[in-house]
Amino acid sequence: METPARLTVDVGRLREGEPERLRGTLEASLLEIDDLAQVRPDGPLAYDLEATLLPGGEVLVRGRLSLPCRCLCGRCGGEFRRVFAEEGYCETFAAGASAGLDLTESAREGIILVLPSYPICGEGCKGVCPTCGKNLNEGPCGCARGGENPWGALDGWAPQE
């Protein structure tokens, strides 16, 4: 199996005042974020960056990172897909970096910062009924006729003397 390509910059090729455009994708397996059960990569990370050699020899890299994900809603448990993006990725790498400056780890950290730990499928998500567990986005369940009252199911029930 081929090792997936990493995100690298050939620092030796950079010229001061001539930013180099870096566009491409990084295989999700390099991101090692499968353990976040609620949010899993659903495709490669896409990057569109610009690397600039600074007068002091540091390398400034900035731009956009995005990652399509498959999420489990924290409220209703439903699965949904969403693309999360870091629009303002910006990192400076120390001077004297070797020819192949590896940005993979930095890009990984950059995208992880924008992944929610409690994803919600939508602002209007109604969640699940606390009594019967039905996903209320699919319609009312019938046991909450009393509105917010969680004991609505017991209405009309009276002990027999």
Binding site for Zn ion (CB under 5 A): 73, 75-76, 78, 121, 125, 129, 131-132, 141, 143
- The answer to whether residues 55 and 16 touch, using CB atoms and an 8 Å cutoff, is yes
16 or 155: CB nearest Zn ion? 155
Nearer to Zn ion, 9 or 71 (CB): 71
> Least distance in Å: CB of 72 to Zn ion?
9
CB 131 to Zn ion: min, Å: 4
Scan for tokens 């399509």, then name that residue: 68
Whichever of 33 and 129 has its CB closer to Zn ion, that residue is: 129
CA distance 117 to 96: 37
Contacts with 63 (C-beta within 8 Å, 6 or more apart), sequence order: 22, 47, 48, 49, 50, 89
Could you tell me the smallest distance in angstroms from the CB atom of residue 70 to Zn ion? 14
DSSP assignment of 18-62 equals: B-EEEEEEE-GGGG--TT-TTEEE-SPEEEEEEEEE-TTS-EEEE
- Closest separation in Å from C-beta 40 to Zn ion: 16
**Residue 116 CB, nearest approach to Zn ion (Å):** 13
104 versus 131: smaller Cβ distance to Zn ion: 131
Please say which residue, 43 or 78, places its beta carbon nearer to Zn ion: 78
- Token pair recorded at residue 44: 């490669």
**Residue 118, SS3 per DSSP:** coil
